[in-house]
Structure 1
Amino acid sequence: MTLRYLTFTADDDGGDRGCWEAMASTPHAALPEVRQEIAEVLRWAEQHAPGPQGPEEDGGTWDVFSHTQDEGRWVTVTVTLTGPLAWGASLLARFAPPDSGD
């Protein structure tokens, strides 16, 4: 699946963990398609999970947070994944466009 709406940015903590944020800002009419993309990303994350999901301080290896903000005629959806750098690199390889630089 090629993502049409979500775009990723990446950040690492200088150690072995990173943070990958996907964001889409669209008219409300596109929200079902954005949610479908999010579901696909989360399916991949779960299928390729490097360990249990949850906060690191609770023994989790990876985690996910999402936020939806209604901005009138537009809606912005943000999904943030955290986990091991190698796992995140695989995530980006799967979903980020080849020329994205991430």
Structure 2
Amino acid sequence: MTLQYLLFDPSDDGEGTGTWDAMASVRAAQLPEVMREVQAVLAWAERHSPGPRGPLDDGGAWDADHLVQTEGDWTTVTLTITGPWAWGEGLAAHFAE
């Protein structure tokens, strides 16, 4: 699956951990498609998990958070994934194909 709405912006902490932020702002009609993309990314992350999911400070290997906010006719969906750099780059590459 190639992502049509979510675009990842990676950042590296310089110690082997990365954060991939994605955001999409859509009208109500496109929201189900965006949420399918969010679920597909999270499903891939779970299937290819580098270890337990949870806050890295609490011993998790990776974590994810998503937020949905509606303002007027627009809904903004944000998805943030944190984990080992190579794993996250694999995730981003998988969905960019």
TM range (shorter): over 0.9
Runs of 4+ in 1 over 3 A off after TM superposition: none
Determine the structure 1 residue equivalent to 2:28.
Answer: 28
Q: Tell me the CA shift for residue 68 of structure 1.
A: 1.0
Determine the structure 1 residue equivalent to 2:38.
Answer: 38
Determine the structure 2 residue equivalent to 1:71.
Answer: 71
CA contact (8 A) 1:8 1:96 kept: no
Q: Tell me the CA shift for residue 69 of structure 1.
A: 1.2
CA contact (8 A) 1:7 1:96 kept: no
**Cα distance per residue 1:13-38 (max 9 Å; x no partner):** 11110000111111011101100011
Give me the whole-angstrom Cα distance separating, in 2, the residues matched to 1:89 and 1:2: 15
**RMSD of Structure 2 on Structure 1 (CA):** 0.9
- Secondary structure, aligned partner of 2:37: helix
Amino acid at match of 1:30: Q
Q: Any gaps of 5 or more consecutive residues in structure 1?
A: 98-102
Identity %: 57
Give me the whole-angstrom Cα distance separating, in 1, the residues matched to 2:30 and 2:84: 31
Provide the aligned length of Structure 1 versus Structure 2: 97
Please report the TM-score for the alignment, with normalisation by the length of structure 1. 0.91
Determine the structure 1 residue equivalent to 2:88.
Answer: 88
CA contact (8 A) 1:5 1:24 kept: yes
Determine the structure 2 residue equivalent to 1:61.
Answer: 61
